[in-house]
Amino acid sequence: MYSIQQENELIHMAQHGNKTACEQLLQAYTGLLHKMAHRYQHTPSGRELSEDAPGILALAFMESVHAFDSSRGVHFAAFLQSHLQGALYKALRKTCTCNLHTAHPAANGTDAPWYNLVESPAPTPERIITARDELSRLSRQLSTADKQLLSLLYYHELPQNTIARLLHLSPQTVSKRKQKLLAQLKKLA
């Protein structure tokens, strides 16, 4: 590995078109690129991206080299890792969106028809992204009081009695508001 000063000099030379410097940087971060390329292979969208991941990451690497500014005091490795993660996130999100709009999703390399595939109920990056997007959409339609109750119930995981004390309400009122909120969310979804 290089010292921070040597690495910054290599980055500066690569930004000005020095191919040797760019190759040396790429060589130094090959392990990180390889690790990131295999990060989501256990997910359905990750398997679909497995062939494209090295190219996506190589492009993100080059963009990171050209966008990096050493005067900001950030180490290149941290800057690079966030850009690589962002590139993979965008690609996964695009794949998820594409699969939602596809009439016949790919069978993920199996001979079985797509409708016979049984996916694990475990959280995957795709499900987390979809859930966050849906929760964000739903929360825009809630009142401030409902958002507060939702946060206390599910984000902070407080018991209803504690919430009742915090909001100066009776436990029965909190229970009724919770039921009303859940019904409203089901209606919006």
- The per-residue pLDDT for 10 is 86
Q: Are 86 and 37 in contact (CB under 8 A)?
A: no
Kindly give, in sequence order, each residue whose CB lies less than 8 Å from that of residue 7, ignoring residues fewer than 6 positions away.
Answer: 25, 28, 76
Whether the CB-CB separation of 92 and 100 falls below 8 Å is answered with: no
Residues 136, 125: Cα–Cα separation, whole Å: 16
What does the pLDDT read at residue 22? 85
- Once rounded to an integer, what is the mean pLDDT over residues 55-66? 87
Instruction: Classify the C-alpha dihedral 185-187-188-189 as positive or negative.
Output: positive
Q: Given this model, what pLDDT does residue 107 score?
A: 46
Segment (H or E) for 55:
helix 53-67
Contact status, residue 150 vs residue 167, Cβ threshold 8 Å? no
The model carries a pTM of: 0.50
CB 150 within 8 A of CB 142: yes
pLDDT digits (tens, 9 = 90+) for 23-53: 888 888 888 888 887 777 777 667 777 778 8
The 8-class DSSP code of residue 111 comes to S
Q: How many residues does the chain have?
A: 189
For residue 65, pLDDT beyond 70: yes
In the structure, what pLDDT confidence band is assigned to residue 116 with cuts at 50, 70 and 90?
very low
Amino acid code (one letter) for 93: R
More confident residue, 136 or 149: 149
Inform me whether the pLDDT recorded for 120 exceeds 90.
Answer: no
Whether residue 118 is predicted with pLDDT greater than 60 in this model: the reply is: no
Position 186, amino acid: K
Judge contact between 115 and 66, C-beta under 8 A: no
Q: Is the pLDDT of residue 147 over 70?
A: yes
pLDDT score for 102:
55
Please choose, from the candidates 38, 45, 43, the residue with its C-alpha nearest in 3D space to the C-alpha of residue 122. 43
Least confident of 22-26, 87-91, 103-107, 171-175: 103-107
Which residue type sits at 85?
A: Q
Q: How confident is the model at residue 59 (pLDDT cuts 50, 70, 90)?
A: confident
Residue 154 carries which DSSP code? I
